[in-house]
Amino acid sequence: MSHSVNSILSQIRSYQTQASQPLPAADVARSNAIDGLAGVRPAPATSFTDTLQGALADVNRAQQASGALAAAFERGEPGADLARVMVASQQSQLAFRATVEVRNRLVQAYQDVMNMPL
């Protein structure tokens, strides 16, 4: 379990470093000319609160879908086979554990900031 969480966290860190590196001006102009994106504006930045709420809503949806699929399997519905139930259950567990890990990191960061000397 910790291996998968560490893998996800390393992927997130990798994406953060890629996003923080600016593209050279020549590459941006060339890609805009090729893709026809010269007049397209970048997507508006979302707030941290919106991003966090969206992530929590996705985790909630995954857990509800997993529960509904498990209930359908228990009722004996033909579309709900055991493999789908187990995969959905594992996906919702992984999403929840990742959410808990993010929460733990946020709490630790908050505590570190609060314990900084002035």
Residue 115 CB neighbours (<10 A): 7
User: 82, 70 in Cβ contact below 8 A?
Assistant: no
CA distance 21 to 76: 52
Low-confidence ranges of the chain (pLDDT < 70): 1-5, 19-43
Residue 44: is it exposed, middle or buried by C-beta count within 10 angstroms (0-12/13-18/19+)? exposed
| pLDDT number for residue 38 | 52
Chain segment 75-103, per-residue pLDDT in tens: 998 888 899 999 999 999 999 999 999 99
